[in-house]
Structure 1
Amino acid sequence: MHRATSPTAEESRSLLSAERFGAGTGTGSSRRLLLRLGISFFLFGLINNVLYVIILSAALDLVPPSTPKGIIAFCNIFPSLLAKFGWPYLLKGRIRYARRLVGCCLISMSGMAVVAMFDSLYMRLLGICFASFSSGLGELTFLQLSTRYHPPRVAGHSVGYFASGTGAAGLVGAFLWWELRGLGVRTGVGLSSALPLVIPATYFLLLPHTSAFEAFEDAAAPAAYTPLATADADDADDAGEESVVASPKLLEALSASDKWRLVKPLLPKYMLPLFCVYLFEYTINQGIAPTLVYPVPTPAEHPLLSKLIHSIRDYYPLWQLVYQTTVFLSRSSLSMGIPALPARLLALPAAVQALLLGALALEAAVGVFGGDATRAVVLVFALIAVEGVCGGLAYVNVYHRVNQEPAGADADVGSERARQEREFRIGAIGLADGTGILLASVLAVPTEVALCRAQVRRGRELCKQL
């Protein structure tokens, strides 16, 4: 089965006009091509991440009350981290995108089906591990797929919309489970297991072929001749067949030393800032935010706040709603036309996150925002909104910058080696955010316990009532 057909040469030339002078001046066909690309990657990000959110939202319904909820968080993170480490760092050769995405779809559907069909805790945790592994491998694959599009602005376009889709998954997943939970775990999760089918349908039926944009790049600026992959060649790759005219040079795989050479400059420039952002962000969300509780506001004194907060259990969902909304908006910054952060400022979100972690931890422990609960709630609301903005900006800008990295000096821009280098670079970054999330999940439990004990020592026992 083939993906959507590529446009004619005339459409490619009109796309050149749209990209060079702005989409508003391009033809309708070129705008539709970019729209299809954007929608495809948005759906990839949305569907790939939405099951992760549904599982976290359904955590209370999936396991017995005596089971620590952190075990679900661990099973939802660790398999994803294994995928992000194993595939780019240990495997070699070309990526068979169609085969991998169909595999991810089947694994994800199987995992959700196991969760829905079995009441056993261990079987449900196994199903969650399947879905997590598929989500991690899927995210890695879509980011790598974005590097196959050229010129760089088109590749950046796909990354921007993918990041926007991952941000939307937080809101959509929470809303879906809110609507489905009334049907029970079996039916609700069972219906959710059909969502991964959207991914192969989008890949085969909606996603424009890379050859469309390669032809447009070739028209943009004359350069030395480099053989371009055709639609048939790419389809042969997906089927596991090599082109009969491919030379050994085109089929070479990156060695371990090649990968280490490529990853070394990424460590301080991209991976460390992203690791820190996710470490601080998820420590706040899982370890500090649950302790940021205040007395329930009365309608007479706080008419607006009382409409949102009806019990002390409503504070944590409120913080998560604020966080997910601002993450979605900031991850959508590139797709909304906001310029990317300069490379020298990529560490700024991590620095701000560190300050936010300190401020919110102090508020939870000693109440630095004062005795006025309304003022404290407003300040926490604002700080968590900034936290979401920083987290979203870090994600979309780091992956955008890596996507735009030029090929190595020893690789031709259109060669198979250059393609593999681009795929490896963006795939290698995923280890940083996955490790940050995993470490944060380990730190969150003792952090929450320590902050709650600090509140009890100063006479506030609301955290004990959750």
Structure 2
Amino acid sequence: MESEEEFDGAVESVPPSSYVRINASGENATNSRDQETGWDPSLAFTTWDKARVLTGFWLLGLCNNFGYVVMLSAAYDILQPTTPVKKCLENATISSPHHLICNTAGTGNILLADILPTLFIKFSAPFYMHKISYNVRMIFVVLFNIASFLLVAIAGSSMKWLSILGVICASISSGFGEIIMLSFSSYFSPNTILTWSSGTGAAGIFGAVAYSGLTQVGLSPKNTLFLMLIVPACQTFSYYWLVVKPPQVKSSWSLCSYNQRQGYQALASSASEQRPTNSYTLPQMFLLIKPLLRFMIPLMFVYMAEYFINQALYELLYFTSSCSWMSIEAQYRWFQTIYQVGVFLSRSSLMCFKLKVLWILPILQFGTLATLICQVLYHYIPEHNGIWIVFAIILWEGCLGGVSYVHTFYQISQQVEHEHKEFSMGVASVADTTGIVVSAGVSILAHNGLCNMTITW
């Protein structure tokens, strides 16, 4: 097996003699790659193939999360703010009790539309996903990705329901794509998790910067979204032409029957001798999920705090002294952008260190949440140039979220028994989504409560 310091995109060509894993009964087990689950070293990828796999996973991560990020960056515009820049400027010298400048509906509503379909997909996928080939799955992902940009762009300001439908399509595409690619990574070295995670982090930067930057220079939100249709095209190219696939994935296009992973040695046998290694009964699923909870629970709490900040507090963290050069809407967009920079940097952190103590991350993230809630309530950060301090805090928030994501899935890939890795990687992705859904619901209530409060600065 490769050392943790070596990063390539191929299937591990030299199996370890033994290593500790979590087996189907939820207990530790010693496993060696045998004829049923082992990989044939003679079919290991070439150096060029490895480069294609790593690059492909990075691009797929970028394209998968791009639409999701854009919808959150566009949330303020989709909701059509009712508080113009003029009002921000008029309140620039406020020192008496006043109400916060708020949208009638908080951006948590957009987050809820952007994440609920993902949660449904991730909870239900283990029951049907194995029956559909990866090639067919990706067709659905690309089609929903295209629909998300088209619907939001066409909707404009008169059809908010169509905008919400577009956001839902982005959610379906992103959620379905994540569980597909995390499961698909089990065919390769755990190092593909690094490039996938780095790509999803890059989506945050490219998505937020692209939307914020293009609208800032004068391009309309509608034309900006039409321009972003290049993303599903890149996604199609990356999966179907760039990534080198194992034979059983490359040749399978069945919707009703899926040749599940057997390993290269099993492929050499006749079809009648093959049997699925990841077809589980419901009790077996629960037994496999139980030991994953120690990874999933910290990740869930990190995302609960993180997305409460993003969707309940960002739009209330504005600085009136900055309105002369950055409107409230623009401040919200750039908060999202700075956050995504932190996510990108930290999702690439696997190259620098391996974090095993995951529980420290939710503690730090809730500390960040408390810091920013105090800013909304008491405005203790100096008004003059205070926005730069908030930028730094938001960068830290994004770093904590990215570190939690990439190191959680890396630890799962290292500690789960090989034949259960595909299932485990997919089902563990429910954790972050659950945290986001909880924070979306709470942030809507918090938005309404904060906006109705009379606050003294």
CA RMSD of aligned residues (A): 3.1
When structure 1 is superposed on structure 2, of 397-406 and 249-258 the one drifting more is: 249-258
Amino acid corresponding to residue 332 of structure 2 in structure 1:
Y
The reply to whether residue 115 of structure 1 matches residue 149 of structure 2 is no
Quick check: 1:62–1:185 contact (8 Å CA) kept in 2? no
- Cα deviation, residue 184, structure 1: 3.8
Aligned counterpart in structure 2 of residue 167 of structure 1, from 201, 204, 207: 201
111-120 vs 270-279, greater mean Cα deviation: 111-120
Change (3 A) 1:348 1:250: same
Cα contact 1:101–1:199 (8 A) shared by 2: no
Aligned counterparts of 2:145 and 2:369: Cα–Cα separation in 1 = 34
- Separation in 2 of the partners of 1:13 and 1:76? 34
Gaps of 5+ in 1: 1-10, 17-28, 211-230, 299-305, 408-412, 461-466
2:66 alignment counterpart: 50
Aligned position for 1:228: none
Confirm or deny: 8 A CA contact 2:135 2:249 kept in the other structure. Answer: no
Q: TM (normalized to structure 1)?
A: 0.73
Matched-pair contact (CA < 8 Å) for 1:167–1:324: yes
Q: Does 1:258 align with 2:284?
A: yes
Counterparts in 2 of 1:38-437, with a 5 A limit? 38-65=54-81, 68=105, 69-88=107-126, 90-91=127-128, 93=130, 96-118=133-155, 120-149=159-188, 154-155=189-190, 157-178=191-212, 181=215, 182-210=218-246, 231=247, 233-239=248-254, 240=257, 242=259, 244-247=270-273, 249-250=275-276, 253-267=279-293, 269-296=294-321, 310-311=326-327, 314-334=330-350, 337-342=351-356, 345-369=357-381, 372-374=382-384, 376-377=386-387, 379-407=389-417, 413=418, 418=419, 421-437=420-436
Once the two structures are superposed, what CA deviation does each residue of 1:287-320 show, in whole Å capped at 9, x if it has no partner?
223322334169xxxxxxx9xx545555434433
Once the two structures are TM-superposed, the CA of residue 271 in structure 1 deviates from its matched residue by 1.2
Contact 2:278-2:422 within 8 A present in 1 as well: no
Task: Compute the displacement of 1:322 (Å).
Answer: 2.4
In 2: Cα distance, 1:13 partner to 1:125 partner? 41
Distance 1:277 1:205, change over 3 A: same
> Following the alignment from structure 2 to structure 1, what is the Cα–Cα distance between the partners of residues 59 and 119?
22
Q: Measure how far apart 1:125 and its partner are.
A: 2.1
Q: Distance in 1 between matches of 2:234 and 2:439?
A: 31
Secondary structure in 2 aligned to 1:249?
A: coil
Amino acid in the other structure paired with 2:176: L
Change (3 A) 1:375 1:140: same
Secondary structure of 1:250 counterpart: coil
How far 1:30 moved relative to its partner?
5.3
Cα distance in 1 for residues equivalent to 2:433 and 2:143? 23
What 5-or-longer segments of structure 2 have no aligned partner?
Answer: 1-8, 15-44, 83-103, 260-266
TM-score with structure 2 setting the length = 0.75
Letter in 2 for 1:188: T
Question: Residues 42, 258 of structure 1: CA spacing in aligned structure 2 closer, same or farther, 3 A cutoff?
Answer: same
2:355 match: secondary structure: coil
In structure 1, C-alpha distance between the alignment counterparts of 2:13 and 2:276, rounded to whole Å: 29
Larger RCO (CA under 8 A, 6+ residues apart) = 2
Deviation, structure 1 residue 166: 0.8
For residues 18-43 of structure 1, the C-alpha deviation after alignment (integer angstroms, 9 at most, x for no partner) is xxxxxxxxxxx955433322211110
Structure whose residues are more often helix by fraction: 1
Amino acid at match of 1:457: I
CA contact (8 A) 1:279 1:437 kept: yes
Mapped partners of 1:14, 1:132: distance in 2? 33
CA contact (8 A) 2:179 2:426 kept: yes
